[in-house]
Every structure is written in C-alpha cells, then in structure tokens.
Structure 1
Amino acid sequence: MDAFLVSTAIVALAEIGDKTQLLAFILAARFRRPWPIVLGILVATLANHAFAAAVGTWLTTLMGPHTLRWVLGLSFIAMAVWTLIPDKFDEDEARLPRLGVFGATLVAFFLAEMGDKTQIATVALAAQYQALVAVVAGTTLGMMIANVPAVLLGDRIATRMPVKLVHGIAAAIFLGLGIATLAGAGEGLGF
C-alpha cells in the first residue's frame, strides 16, 4: 500500500506546473472536448509508466542491494532538486498530429512524458518498492489527479494554483525518500 500511496502523492505534486500539465491545458483549450483528452492522458500514462516501472524493476536485477540503495537515494535527492526547477513548454512542442482528439492526446502525452520528471520518478519508485502494479497504478492516479482538473477547469485553476508551494512539498517528499533510502529504510525490501 505504501508504494501506491507514495507514488500517487509524489506524481500528483510533481506534475503541478509540469510540461505535461501545461500540455493538458493546451489540449483542453484547443479541442474543447474533455473526455477524449482525459482518456488519451490515461492510456498514454498507463503505457509510459508501465514501461518506466518495468525499467525500474529490471534495474534491481542489475545491481546489488548496497549499490541500488545508493543509486536510488541519490536519484531521489536529484529529483528533489529537479522538481524545484520550473518547466517551460515550447509552443512548437504543441504541434499535434491529425489523429482526432483522443489520438492526438495519446501521442502528444506519451511523447511529452518521455524523460520527464514523473517518468524518471516512476523508474525510481518501481526500483525502490519492487511493486510494479502498485507503482504504475499510483503514478497513473497521480497524473490523473493533476491533469483531469487542468482539462476540465482549464484557465480557471491555472492562475490560482500555488505552483512553487506544491513543488516545494514534492521536493521535500523526494528529499525525504532519498535520505531515508540512504539511511537504509529500504533494507527490509532487499537493499
């Protein structure tokens, strides 16, 4: 249950103000058809995060427990710093293929999420918890918590969101995970 809850919280917080959330705002403004956009985000996130979690799980087979603990601990600390750096969204990235609302959302979101903070976090969380399904379910729910309101409410919430505060909280959680991992909190999990 920890893997699911931590994954949900971290990704929901880290996604606020992230380039994929900005993409959700753009898609909502452009298409004005929220449900195909929401479904596209869901399918793209499930595919992207399932791949990322599989990579994270695979990494645990390549490293010994001591090395994995250091890699994960330092990765979480790096994620804390990265979370504090605001994302910028290039309007050229918003050029969408002509695949309909669902298809355009699916492709755009999947590609925008490649190498993004939340994808890297999913890799690290899957390696940390070694619970692929719980991590994918949690990170996907976190993405939906952050992006569905962006699609449904758009500009009405964009200007009212305390992005710096939310990023600070996400960074603190990543930092706490990193320190706990380095201190050996995951030893019961095999590292």
Structure 2
Amino acid sequence: MSSAAIFVAELGDKSQLMAMTFATRYRAWQVLLGITLATTVVHAVSVLLGFGMGSALPTDWIGLVAGLAFLGFAAWTLRGDHLTEKEKSKAGRLAGSAVLAVTVAFFLAELGDKTMLATVTLAAQHDWLGTWIGSTIGMVLADALAIGVGLMLGKHLPERLIRYGAATLFAVFGLWLTVDALLDLF
C-alpha cells in the first residue's frame, strides 16, 4: 500500500525533475544510488515521526534551508565544471562525489516534502517497517522512471542547454521552497 501511495505522490514532483536533471549529468546508477540512500534515511525519519511523535518536524525552517541550498545548487550548476583529462579518468573510477551530490540534494528536497508527510501519515496508521520499506521502494521506482526519461533527453540535447536547464530548475525549486517557507513562517 505504501509503495503505491508514495509512487503516485511522487509523480510530477520536484524530485522527479531533479532525477531527470541528474541523469543528464551523472551515470544512472550513481543517481539511483544517491536517491536510494537519501530516500532510505528521509523515510526512516518520517516513519519514526509518524510512529512515535506525529508531525512535530519544523518543516517551515527546513524548507527555508532547503530553498537556499537549491539556489546555491543553481549557481553551482550555472557556473559549470570543467575536468582535465586526469580528472576525467579519475571520475570514471571514483563515483563518490556524484553519489554524494545526488544524496544531499535529494535529502534536502525531501525534507518536509509531500512524500515525507505522506510517509509520516502512513506510519501513524500502519506498521512502521512495512511503511518504511514500501515508501522507499515507491519513491525509488518513481524516480527511476524519471532517470530513464532524463537519459533519453540527455542524448538529444546539447550540454550547454542541459546545464542552463538544470540551473533554471534548481533556481525555480529554490525560490519556490524559500517563498513557501517564508509565507508559512511570517
């Protein structure tokens, strides 16, 4: 039940757009691993909140921090990265930085998101372990779908357009999260 609920809640969500964007820049397995790590942790926290404390998370402040972080991601993406030949060969062997970037971005994006709140609600009403596993699987499956779409787009679009598009998406999400948090706070 929780897999289906979270899969549907994730469709069209900002994290699916992030998955598409990351899939154009990193290897699909790196993006999927980062999403899985972030989702596992966020949904564990969600289940703990739902099972133990209800919805006591200060999502307004977390949303503000996440929004500002996304604005930073936008600037970083717009600046672009250039690798030397030595760095390119090293990047092929070492996937840690890509996985870490995806994990941190998804972790921040999911804090206070509708899928987190849905998981909290489900955990308050159902078995915590089943909710945790099911919600994590549902989200990873929905974002795996987005990775596939991102890979198809990445093969047909110039790198410069992808970079500007990604920066724009990060800026839009950052502004959206920041404004939404500020409206809730004040």
TM-score per shorter chain, which class?
0.5 to 0.7
The question of 1:26 aligning with 2:21 is answered: yes
**Contact 1:20–1:112 (8 Å) recurs in 2:** yes
Supply the AA of the counterpart residue of 2:103.
L
Query: Does the 8 A contact of 1:26 with 1:94 survive in 2?
Result: no
Report the identity percentage. Answer: 39
Displacement of 1:10? 0.8
Q: Report the residue type matching 1:104 in the other structure.
A: A
Q: Does residue 40 of structure 1 match 2:34?
A: yes
Deviations 1:102-151 (A, max 9, x none): 0000100000000000000000000011x111001110111011001211
Work out the CA distance in 2 between the residues paired with 1:153 and 1:25.
6
Gaps in structure 1 of 5+ consecutive residues: 1-5, 63-89, 158-191
- Unmatched 5+ stretches in structure 2: 57-68, 82-95, 154-186
- In the alignment, structure 1 residue 54 sits paired with structure 2 residue 51: no
TM value normalised by structure 2: 0.59
Count residues with an aligned counterpart. 122
CA distance in 1: counterparts of 2:72 and 2:112, whole angstroms: 14
CA distance in 2, matches of 1:117, 1:128: 17
Q: Which amino acid aligns with 1:146?
A: A
Aligned amino acid, residue 57 of structure 1: F
Partner of 1:134: 130
Query: Is the contact made by 2:20 and 2:150 (CA closer than 8 Å) also made in structure 1?
Result: yes
CA contact (8 A) 2:23 2:151 kept: no
Inter-partner Cα distance in structure 2 for 1:43 and 1:50: 11
Task: List aligned pairs for 1:10-159, cutoff 5 A.
Answer: 10-31=5-26, 33-59=27-53, 92=71, 94-95=73-74, 100-129=97-126, 131-154=127-150, 156=152
What stretches of structure 1 move > 2 A for 4+ residues in a row?
A: 90-99
For residues 9 and 27 of structure 1, the distance between their equivalents in structure 2, rounded to whole angstroms, comes to 24
The answer to whether the Cα contact below 8 Å between 2:10 and 2:142 also exists between their aligned partners in 1 is yes
CA distance, structure 1, for counterparts of residue 72 and residue 7 of structure 2: 22
